[in-house]
Amino acid sequence: MNIDIKNKKLSDWIKEAADMCRPDDIYVCNGSAEEYNLMIKKLLDHGSAIQLKKRPNSYLFRSDPGDVARVEDHTYISTSSKDEAGPTNNWIDPVQLKETMKGLYNGCMKGRTMYVIPFSMGPIGFPISKIGVEITDSPYVVINMHIMTRVSDRVLELLSTDGDFIPCLHSIGAPLAEGQKDVLWPCAPIEKKYISHFPEENLIWSYGSGYGGNALLGKKCLALRIASAMAKREGWMAEHMLILRLTSPEGKRYHIAAAFPSACGKTNLAMMQPSIPGWRCECIGDDIAWMKVGADGRLYAINPEAGLFGVAPGTSYDTNPMAMDTLKENVIFTNCALTDDGDVWWEGMDGDEPLHAIDWKGNDWTPESKTVAAHPNARFTAPASQCPVICGDWEKPEGVPVDIFIFGGRRSSVVPLVHEAISWDHGVFLGATAASETTAANIGAVGNLRRDPFAMKPFCGYNMGDYFQHWLDMGDRVGDKAPRIFYVNWFRKSDDGKFLWPGFSDNSRVLKWMCERVDGKAVARESAIGLLPKEEDLDVQGIGISGDDMKELMKVDPAEWKAEIPDIEQHFAAFGSRLPERLKKQLEEFKKRLG
């Protein structure tokens, strides 16, 4: 080991992990540029990193075809009772799960180095930040954690002799016998993959996958699954939300936190360039928000991450110019295609498709190929500080005050472009019943309707009925200082299958109406589902949208909504006695309004 660890809990844990996993060597990370370059050199020498000629300090990786996304079916919330985990989580008894995983961990790092990664979610030493330590045998994980979190020896200094941290144990599950040649993307077969969370102990164990949120344990595992359980106990909120600042032509700032399921445009909205003259958008975070009640009684949000881990396919100068500008250097790309001139390419990127490329599996690809060049869930990992519209206050210790919450999903029909909640409880009902048509970022058949409450279904670390109650309780705490709640659907289609709303930069027009609602400048009209914009209040000047299309976009058909009721009832029934009475009341009131 290259460093003396002063914190007894940490040194004991490292020893315990080393005795179980039996690595050849132990390396404690310090977060320096030299260390990052050392890891890159290892990965280049190994053959798994491909240097990109066209982008300085940027590299392409190809995962094993069986290790391309979050494995929700192998993700566990392991609590003392199944009821504590709730119906939306996979549960295994903690004693049984640890026994199984200890068997897998036994000797799993033979022939490899164990890396100890001290990291902070949120700027180091901030009041709302949390410290984690990830143990891994993957240098690919080390470089990604360098970008996505704040890896630093300052974290060890902060821990001192007795500071607390969240232990995160990870192994790719591919020990090497002496003389055995390594593969380019080592991982375990799917049946041996486990992404396990023990929220009662603030503990994460992950085995068998080297990909994304399965392996970068600061991300969904710590910042959402474990943090949501901590937030419930400690009286704050950990949410799957982007955070942006919208500034009006008069200079008034509005802070908006929005929850959408994966592949519903979170990153695009977080970096939006408003199409309305005089309005300006700045990105604070594109994926996760931690919120606490401030001294003035309002909710304040920080982005606990240091990087962006975005879906590449579909990202272009048309859809998200600021993301494209973020990706010019210092980026890790995974499962994108490689062009002959040494750049990355993916479906939906600007310009002509290449005449020839190497696809994400390492095979020759041409436009005539029957397969895609980049995996639909191909990713980029980039420092958030590189984003041209990163907000100057994105690392403010106390966070930014939240004015507006937005929920939404991908619906081709039924749900209008925007509506506002009648009250906080109604807003919680909207979040609790949120639904989206599935995409490549979720496991399951594409296009199925999936209830994804608060976009947190895969990420809530405890019983979601209790999570709904926590939202109601937080609303009670902030009272009349609570953010206003809205629901959006950018994805409504016409009968011939075309998107009715242009989306992207024009989404600013919907956000402008929300800000005017907050200021009391815009009047809403009542409907069975909530408050809708008056036609003249939604600024659609210059975007060439027809009156008929606007009517279709804002249409609320009671018969279509009545058809949703059995699905909502079935969804709520799963929570049994844990479903808050106030949500049952909201459902009954909704039925009455529908008539």
pLDDT at position 445 is: 52
Closest CA to 124 of 153, 96, 84: 153
Give, in order, the Cα–Cα distances in Å from 402 to each of 76, 99, 245, 268: 31, 43, 9, 19
Instruction: Examine the domain organization and report whether 108 and 206 are in the same domain.
Output: yes
Q: Could you tell me if 407 and 360 lie in one domain? A: no
Find the helix or strand (DSSP H, E) in which 159 lies.
helix 153-159
- Does the pLDDT value for residue 243 go beyond 70? yes
Alpha-carbon torsion, ordered 141, 143, 148, 150, to 10 deg: 110
When divided into structural domains, the chain yields a total of: 3
State how far the Cα of 82 lies from the Cα of 103, in Å rounded to an integer.
23
Mean pLDDT of 235-260: 98
Rounded to the nearest angstrom, the gap between the alpha carbon of residue 177 and the centroid of all alpha carbons in its chain is: 37
The last residue of one of the domains, among 234, 255, 276, is 234
- 341 belongs to a structural domain: yes
pLDDT, position 163: 96
Distances (CA, A) of 178 to 24, 26, 110, 181: 11, 18, 9, 9
Residue 171 is assigned to a structural domain of this protein: yes
264 in catalytic set: yes
pLDDT, residue 439, reads: 60
Between CA 491 and CA 420, with CA 485 as vertex, the angle to 5 degrees is: 65
Q: Is the pLDDT of residue 443 over 50?
A: no
Any bridge partners for residue 167, and if so which?
133
515-532 per-position pLDDT tens digit: 999 999 999 999 999 999
Residues 315 and 297 in one domain: no
Look-up: residue for tokens 């094993």?
A: 64
| DSSP codes, 186-236 | ----GGG-EEEEETTTTEEEEES--SHHHH-TIIIIIIIIIHHHHHHHHT-
Distances (CA, A) of 12 to 9, 18, 373, 578: 5, 10, 46, 39
Report, as an integer, the average pLDDT of 322-328.
98
Residue 367 lies in a domain: yes
Specify the pairing of strand 332-334 against strand 299-302. unpaired
Question: Rounded distance, CA 292 to CA 239, Å?
Answer: 11
Is 295 found in the same domain as 340?
no
Q: Which two tokens stand for residue 595?
A: 């008539």
Is the pLDDT assigned to residue 441 strictly greater than 60? Answer: no
- The secondary structure of residue 424, as a DSSP letter, is H
Active-site pick, 187, 264, 336, 515: 264
- Burial class for 392, CB neighbours closer than 10 Å (0-12, 13-18, 19+): exposed
Residue 438 pLDDT: 75
pLDDT recorded at residue 355: 97
For position 265, what pLDDT does the model report?
Answer: 87
- DSSP classification of residue 24: S
Q: Report the C-alpha gap between 155 and 132 in whole angstroms.
A: 9
Nearest to 186, CA basis, from 125, 136, 127: 136
| Burial environment of residue 544 by CB neighbours within 10 A (0 to 12, 13 to 18, 19 or more) | exposed
Structural contact between residues 323 and 355, judged by C-beta atoms closer than 8 angstroms:
no
In this prediction, residue 437 carries a pLDDT of 86
DSSP-assigned beta bridge partners for residue 488: 408, 418
The 3-state DSSP composition of the chain as helix, strand, coil percent (nearest 5) reads 30, 20, 45
Structure tokens at 148: 């996505």
Q: Which two tokens stand for residue 499?
A: 């998107």
Q: Does residue 276 sit within a domain?
A: yes
Tokens of 585: 């009341």
With beta carbons less than 8 A apart as the criterion, state whether 335 and 373 touch: no
Q: What percent of the chain has pLDDT over 70?
A: 98
pLDDT digits (tens, 9 = 90+) for 83-112: 999 999 999 999 999 999 999 999 999 999
Q: Are residues 230 and 357 in the same domain?
A: no
536 contacts 508 by C-beta, under 8 angstroms: no
Range of the domain at 418: 238-303+394-594
Are residues 522 and 415 both part of a single domain?
A: yes
Task: Read off the pLDDT of each residue in 278-285 and give the average, rounded to a whole number.
Answer: 98
Predicted TM-score (pTM) of this structure: 0.96
- Confidence category of residue 442, pLDDT binned at 50, 70, 90: very low
Q: Is residue 502 part of a domain?
A: yes
Alpha-carbon distance 517 to 307, whole Å? 32
For residues 160 and 20, state if they share a domain. Answer: yes
For residue 412, the tally of other CB atoms under 10 A from its CB is 16
Q: Are residues 314 and 282 in the same domain?
A: no
Which structure tokens are listed for 545? 């949208």
Domain contains 320:
yes
Look at residues 530, 502, 521, 519 and name the one whose alpha carbon lies nearest to residue 418.
530
Decide if 564 is inside a domain. yes
Mind listing the pLDDT tens digit for each residue in 348-403? 999 999 999 999 999 999 999 999 999 999 999 999 999 999 999 999 999 999 99
What does the pLDDT read at residue 264?
A: 84
Task: Say if residue 228 is in the same domain as residue 268.
Answer: no
Is residue 2 pLDDT above 90, yes or no? no
Q: Are residues 93 and 223 in the same domain?
A: yes
CATH of the domain at 192: 3.40.449.10
Same domain, 258 and 294: yes
Beta bridge partners of 206: 170, 195
DSSP state of 484: E
Nearest CA to 524 out of 548, 500, 554 is that of: 554
Q: Specify if 515 maps to a domain.
A: yes
Q: Pick the last residue of a domain from 234, 256, 275.
A: 234
**The domain that contains 447 carries what CATH number?**
3.90.228.20
Computed over every residue of the chain, the mean pLDDT equals: 96
Give the least confident one: 351-360, 365-374, 535-544, 569-578: 535-544
> Domain ends where: 328, 358, 382?
382
Per-residue pLDDT, averaged over 576-595, amounts to 97
Residue 354 is part of a domain; what is its CATH number? 2.170.8.10
242 and 227 fall within a common domain: no
Distance CA 86, CA 572 (A): 12
Q: 3-state DSSP call for residue 504?
A: helix
